[in-house]
Structure 1
Amino acid sequence: MIQKAKRLDGVIVGIVVCFAFISTLVIESATMGTRYEGLHIANIEMYAVMVIPMLLVAMMDYRLIVRYLSYPSYVVGVILLVMVLVIGVNLNGSTRWIEIGSQQFQPSELMKIAFILTLARFLGNLNGRSPRFWREIVPALGLFIIPFYLVFKQPDLGTSIVFISILVSILWMANMQLKQIVIGLSAILVVAAGITALYFVQFDLFSKVIKPHQLERIQTFIDPTLDPENSWHVKNAQTAIGSGELYGKGFMQGNLVQGGYVPYHYADSIFAVIGEEFGFVGSTLLLLLYFLLIYRMIIISYKCRDRAGSYIIVGIIAMLVLQIFENIAMHTGLMPLTGIALPFVSYGGSSLLTNMLSIGLALSVHIHQDYPLAE
């Protein structure tokens, strides 16, 4: 155990500590003088607690996790997602949470980890050969479509897209043939073109497929002047980020955010706080931290001789990169607004647990890739 602890990637652990500091600092500023004041203390406590499962996973051999826990975790995850649709808690038009006592738990977050492990198990025995369409790709699509549909039904479009990103990245890593890639890209383009055509040609049918609040977000993204009431969130977030200019207004000086003009400023909209108070420089430093984390994971994946380990790392990278892009893009007007957290920085127990488990898996791959498998 001590030898394994010595093999922990110090850079990744240090980055996580930096995220904990940044998250707590920004949440304290965002909630100062509001009914959420003191939430930064709960954030510190959550980080302190979440370190335990992160280190436990890191000390476990990831190959044993893949062998014995991948399929069971997938089944449990699907059951929980079904339970969300049956007994879930509805907040702001979405049913994404299950109440456990006084706490709320979001199963779709942990389902992302289960999906990565399941694909790593299913595709891990290819031994370098390309996946066959009927024997590997179609079953992989089957494993994907179940959680994707259940999460989309909540509705949670942002998290649904994350599942697409994980699937595509791992299949790409699995050495897909060129013709399979072309077919896949063509199918994506056809679906995207079909959905776009529905919006402009058959709007009534389009509105039956898309939930009302999702439709409002899409319409206000395309033309914010159509419904100023529903576009004020993004407009105020953009104004807050822009007002920070180069160096920001300073810690706890975010008038727009602290004034309540940007909702969920301690959670999904926390990037607006960073942009307003720490400016372009602070936002860039945060992005550099993300870049360094992704870079370290790429190095681990490159050095890993086990295909399943590489698939795990690539899946985690895809999950984090898409969530980072989605969160920042939706607050800068590059994407429609979706409810997705900024990894490691936004306040939220389910999201933080998923991210810390992801780090634990990445550390486990780094520690155990040169160790013989212990049954």
Structure 2
Amino acid sequence: MFIVNKIKKLDMLILLITFALGLVGTMAIYEATVGTNLHNLHIQNFIMLILFCAPMLCIALIDYRIIVSKLAYGFYGIGVALLVAVHFFGENKNGAQRWLNLGGFEFQPSELAKICTILLVAHLLHRRKGEQLKIGKDIIPILLVFLVPVLFIYKQPDLGTALVFLGMMLSMLWMGNVRMIYMALCVGLGAAAIVAVFWLFHNNYDLLASIVKSHQMDRIQTFIDPASDPDKSWHVNNALIAIGSGGLNGDSGYFFQKGFIPYVYSDSIFVAVGEKYGFIGSSVLLFLFFLLLYRMIIVSNESRDLAGSYIVIGIIGMLVFQIFVNIGMHVGIMPLTGISLPFISYGGSTMLTNMIAIGIVLSVAVHKNEIVID
């Protein structure tokens, strides 16, 4: 009876939207791989979607407050330990060492590290009970908690995933009652870094090239001046043409089916949606994302426990950053980088992490009206 009562409290709208996004992803993966040697990938994606519903629902029925108060440090330690294991024992693919082979399943610990970090930061913020954060006592320790996994992930190298932690950090610090001057300083530093990159690119190219890695320099050049080297901007230019050719209702999917878009079933999946289903299909996808994020904001606002609000906001920050950057890099407003589109891109580690994240959000929704006990 106790479990039944919890099941009744599940946020069915979040569940329905999550499953709808998973189905959209499965359809997009089918379109991206039909007629290729990866033509069964959409079946695997659908199977993972169904299987990962089990951990999502199990987590939803567990009181998240127990996890935050008792297990946050342990989970964070496990997340960092897995990143260390990748450094020593990880599999190298295309010059990147990001995966652990666990009995035939290739697992990417950097994905799980996102959730582990959110849980620990929520625990640290909750100890302040809503009071304004102090630099030495609160902000610096939180920055260090984010910095440790970011350094390991950046070394893999995986700049895209490392940057996701920035979105999580800013959203959680904002929700944690940080002084606005500090937030403005962070935003100002970020803006100054972007201006510096543009200035160096146009005025001291060699210095910029000596600071960043060669593949990162190629992406900067592709973003700032795509006409300077058609070979380096081949991916982005083809993505823009493909999405544009989709028109209002979509077309045959010529560009991605003929191999003009690399990794179209994973990081470039939005190109498949844009070309095959057009503006209408892309708008439906964005509307589903909007509904999911809006509903999660409501869950955060309705939670009587600050830890629950912090967790949900951290997950929102994670999802928003990935959605914005993934779509933005294929429509020319963001530099190209390796970030998956949540629930849409193919990838077992990514889907598992996102389903766990939804499970935690559902747990906050289930327990939002319960008495807060310190």
The Cα of 1:194 is off from its aligned counterpart by: 4.6
Q: For residues 200-253 of structure 1, what are the alpha-carbon distances to aligned partners after superposition, in whole Å with 9 as ceiling and x for unaligned?
A: 55544533442221211111111122222221111111111000001111xxx2
Structure 2 residue 9 is the aligned partner of structure 1 residue 7: yes
Q: For residues 148-194 of structure 1, what are the alpha-carbon distances to aligned partners after superposition, in whole Å with 9 as ceiling and x for unaligned?
A: 11111212111111101111111111111233333333443444445
Q: Which amino acid aligns with 1:316?
A: I
2:118 alignment partner, one of 116, 119, 128: 116
Distance across 2 between alignment mates of 1:192 and 1:308: 33
**Is 40-49 or 285-294 further displaced after alignment?**
40-49
- Report the CA distance shift for 1:120/1:279 in structure 2 as closer, same or farther (over 3 A): same
Q: Which residue of 2 aligns with 1:214?
A: 216
- Report the CA distance shift for 1:179/1:220 in structure 2 as closer, same or farther (over 3 A): closer
**With structure 2 as the length reference, what TM-score do the two structures score?**
0.95
Moved over 6 A (4+): none
Distance across 1 between alignment mates of 2:272 and 2:16: 23
| RMSD of aligned Cα (Å) | 1.8
- Report the CA distance shift for 1:82/1:203 in structure 2 as closer, same or farther (over 3 A): farther
Structure 2 residue 230 is the aligned partner of structure 1 residue 231: no
2:105 alignment partner, one of 100, 103, 106: 103
Structure 2 residue 171 is the aligned partner of structure 1 residue 172: no
2:62 alignment partner, one of 47, 60, 63: 60
Distance across 2 between alignment mates of 1:92 and 1:327: 20
Q: Which residue of 2 aligns with 1:310?
A: 309
List runs of 5+ in structure 2 lacking aligned partners. Answer: none
Q: Which amino acid aligns with 2:106?
A: Q
1:37 alignment partner, one of 36, 39, 59: 39
Distance across 1 between alignment mates of 2:90 and 2:204: 32
- Report the CA distance shift for 1:195/1:255 in structure 2 as closer, same or farther (over 3 A): closer
Identical pairs, percent = 47
> How many pairs were matched up?
372
Distance across 2 between alignment mates of 1:260 and 1:186: 40
Distance across 1 between alignment mates of 2:203 and 2:69: 49
Within-5 A mapping of 1:52-201: 52-200=54-202
Q: Which amino acid aligns with 1:224?
A: P
Q: Which residue of 2 aligns with 1:24?
A: 26
Distance across 1 between alignment mates of 2:335 and 2:181: 32
Three-state SS of the structure 2 residue aligned to 1:86 is helix
**With structure 1 as the length reference, what TM-score do the two structures score?**
0.95
List runs of 5+ in structure 1 lacking aligned partners. Answer: none
Three-state SS of the structure 2 residue aligned to 1:229 is coil
**Is 195-204 or 120-129 further displaced after alignment?**
195-204
Q: Which amino acid aligns with 2:354?
A: N
Distance across 2 between alignment mates of 1:68 and 1:208: 46
